[in-house]
Structure 1
């Protein structure tokens, strides 16, 4: 093996749709083209939002699409002790702090808005909540800027003044995605992250958490996400239809078209293993456009 370890980390809030397939396939091909490992992690942090049976259905769909992963599947709901231990460290080191502010209070203080919504004004850092108050935990971001080279989007730079201090544990109890993904990537030895550009704005917070916890910084590649005619990303909220794995060959063919790796004519109706073998041999992530979104007519056919 090359030392490359990649991953696909779906949330079981819904079934896999065509947009999910693009992220899964791109991360799979990048790992296999580097003779690396490809892991699967189920990001089940928020049970009330999860669809019953979705996690098992996601795994069955990946198997039917011949996207076979390495090693056991990791479930985030089994990692709570590790997440809390990291929060305890950050609190002890004064790199995190409790916050009791509600969205209504932020609205009343007219806090600014950034690419991820309201930019927290650090009120609770200077006005600590009273003991016994229900509190979220926020990371105290020390950096002013974040710069990194994305393998698809190129040089990326963020000003933390437009992002603020991110919540790493919610007031109602669940651990936040930003914390869990950083800890799991480090625990699993992830070296390369290939995912949708809708998560690009989360990367600075994750880099900041990695620095605070002295964790490695994986390489990033944020691929364009597919959108509908209204410019909305495919998701359960925009009524994206789940994949029908009976059309595996057609699905892989259409996904490779979207990823700018069209199959030759003689393979467009070939069995999926032949299609994937060709795609691994010809995979070049540089072929992907440095765009955040793109439209493909296939999304509307499901």
Structure 2
């Protein structure tokens, strides 16, 4: 098994120094603002039906919400007063039919039903699972540092990090305990059934380790230009993250920010077809902080 080398690991961890959480949006490119002409419609039932989007919220800004879909594409939708926000059942006194848009926290896995309006999309209904919303609210209310919703994504991630670190103090370095790779066809980011099984096996292995985090990194071969390969590697990483969270039950707050590395750090020679096939991959790294790992090895 080829583990990421120390130089590569340092680069990745520098880029994703703080874990993503159910509260904190994973850093993404800034949302393109949606121009709203007039008032958002009070009745959405008569609007033409739009696509259904399944993924997780990556950013919120006023009436605009950005969702990363299962194929790794970011989709911006508007949230109106008439948008229905529901969970699969009430908990902690919440009524599933009366959730407000305040429940739409960054990092939360959702299914968004949309309608077409003003040349874009407006959410008619946003659905989520009880357990995901409960986790998001617990993290939001339990962080030692209460942060304002207008803080930057970095500040939000920092607050979530403090909640996760707990008694282990300042954790800046990790040990790679295990690595699983899945492979893709040229220009594709779809997972095979065997890959799906391996991802859930990796999540189960990590879940058996105390305080383990997952770092997902996407790669491409050398075919195509740099910009294309960067987007492709991010889509592959996003597809794997979605599957781990939605199908394998891996909690968003135990996931470091996924990274696309394009054709860098090849696993094999890009001059051969066999080598290219090995480079079209996503690696799922199981990480444990060196501080925690050292305590466990010492029997503390």
Same fold, TM-score > 0.5, yes or no? no
The TM-score with structure 1 as length reference comes to 0.23
* Bigger proportion of residues as helix: 1
* Bigger proportion of residues as strand: 2
